[in-house]
Amino acid sequence: MNPVIDQERAGFLALRTQKANKQLLPQWVRPEKELPVVTLPIEWVRFSTLNHRTRAEQDREIRKSGNNELFTGDPLGGQAQAIQLDILSSQGGFDDLMRDLGERGQQEPAVVTAEGILINGNRRAAALRKLWVENHVEGARYIRAFVLPADATKDELIDLETELQVSKDFREEYSWVNEALLIEEIFESSNKNWDKVAKRMRLGKEEVQEQYEKLQQLHQLIALSNGQKFHADFVGNNSAFRELAIHVRGKSPQEAASVRSVYFLGTLAGTNYRDLRHLRRSDAVEFVREEFSNDLFLKSLLESSGSKSGNADSDLLDDVLGEGSESDAGDLNPVLSFLAAQKPEEIVTLPTGEQVAVQQLLTSVKSAVDAAAKEASENVKDAKAVVAPIKKLDLAKDNIGRAGAALAKARSQSEWDEDAFKEKIAEVKAAITQIETL
């Protein structure tokens, strides 16, 4: 008997499984892959509070409540289950899932532990529960589920969740943040062996490493926020963190810190990642600072930050952004730290004594970063224009060299036209003469 599981719930489920038919669950990690499938009351099953699909959202709720045991103290209790239901219901596509289940019903069995905790099918169960409790849809009163052995271990459950997550038949889309958090957990538990992580996730080694690197960038922004921002807040910023993570690989600490601080500011303010691309350069901060100086509010923040280089915010930024951040990301760092730690609805007092809403500051930041990105783009175009004539002449020279190398063979052919060749030589000479007089 396993003393850890709820024996009353396990006993209820054991009775249901005695005469249940078995079906194949290929993703189950043990050799015996045929498991009993039972029908359970939708209000009886319990959502998994260890579900990696909701980990970022759970972290947000824990930090907001100040209760570190919110999901672990009594995971099957009313409070944890109600919050988990709210999290599942708020994830993208939930309304479509409810509509589909209402029209077609449950198509694939869920998966529960021996005490009725959902390992797979949490979102479907949440949708069915709402259909039954709120809309009284008769077909949503029960849920069909595979029942796992009572001695299933934690590692087996994680492996099963991972297998189901990547399975075409069972997959319910993870957010990039929650998938990256799962990868990070497997990475740490696998003695930091990327080959093992890739195998367990059934993804390429480079793909899991990229997800991990994106998450490390996000960890840094969360650290700067002093508890005001959460991983789940940035589910919609996948592309920005991907491009940032790729760009800073192998870059100097100074350039990495410069680009990172600008990306963080732009992400906080809502700048489109396509615009941020133009600021992937070592002098990104200079472009943004120039635009900040044109805004009274942002200029005030910039000027006040100059005297704060030795404060706690600066120490935190050095830790988070890396060595060399202060010299290159310079006086944007205190502004970044300040904005990351504020709630948009708050009113703050500027060094000038003026009071302004944080959301208004973020709007000003977005305008400044947008303008800086445009200026950086134009700068690149201007730089290309400066070297364009030289590059085209280099190309012309190379083509002339290749023409000379092919000349002897061409002249040996009966179709060769010497007059046409001389005429073309004259045209080239004339073009050179013309360009020299410009």
Percent of the chain with pLDDT over 90: 52
- What region does 330 belong to: left with phi over 0, alpha with psi -120 to 50, or beta? left
Q: Mean pLDDT check: name the lowest of 114-128, 160-174, 364-378.
A: 160-174
Q: Is the pLDDT confidence value at 313 over 50?
A: no
Q: Is the pLDDT confidence value at 238 over 70?
A: yes
Res. 387 pLDDT band, cuts 50 70 90: low
- Residue 55: Cβ within 10 Å count: 25
Q: Which amino acid is at 395?
A: L
Q: For the chain, how are helix, strand and coil distributed in percent, rounded to 5?
A: 65, 5, 30
Q: What phi and psi values does residue 300 have, to the nearest 5 degrees?
A: -65, -45
308 or 127: which leads in pLDDT: 127
Q: What is the CA radius of gyration of the chain?
A: 30
Q: E strands within 323-398?
A: 347-349, 355-357
Predicted pLDDT at 310:
42
Rounded to 5°, angle at Cα 36 from 32 and 39: 155
- Contact, 240 vs 272, CB < 8 A? no
Predicted pLDDT at 333:
81
Q: Which amino acid is at 335?
A: V
Domain extent listing, the chain: 7-171, 213-382, 390-436
| CA pair distance 107, 117, nearest whole angstrom | 19
Rounded to 5°, angle at Cα 188 from 186 and 189: 65
Predicted pLDDT at 384:
57
Predicted pLDDT at 309:
42
Predicted pLDDT at 271:
95
335 or 266: which leads in pLDDT: 266
Q: Which amino acid is at 27?
A: Q
Q: What is the pLDDT of residues 145-189, one digit of tens each?
A: 999 999 999 889 988 888 886 654 444 567 899 989 989 999 998
Name the residue with tokens 């502004």: 335
Q: What phi and psi values does residue 34 have, to the nearest 5 degrees?
A: -90, 120
Q: What is the pLDDT of residues 141-157, one digit of tens each?
A: 999 999 999 999 988 99
230-258 mean pLDDT: 93
Q: What is the pLDDT of residues 395-416, one digit of tens each?
A: 788 788 888 888 888 888 888 8
| CA pair distance 161, 181, nearest whole angstrom | 14
Q: Is the pLDDT confidence value at 323 over 70?
A: no
Predicted pLDDT at 80:
95
Predicted pLDDT at 390:
79
| CA pair distance 394, 341, nearest whole angstrom | 53
| CA pair distance 257, 264, nearest whole angstrom | 10
* pTM beyond 0.75: no
Predicted pLDDT at 170:
46
Q: What phi and psi values does residue 35 have, to the nearest 5 degrees?
A: -125, 150
| CA pair distance 375, 414, nearest whole angstrom | 57
DSSP letter string, 271-297: --HHHHGGG-STTHHHHHHHHHTTSHH
270-274 mean pLDDT: 94
Q: Is the pLDDT confidence value at 308 over 70?
A: no
- Contact, 183 vs 149, CB < 8 A? no
- Residue 87: Cβ within 10 Å count: 24
- Contact, 295 vs 368, CB < 8 A? yes
Q: Which amino acid is at 415?
A: E
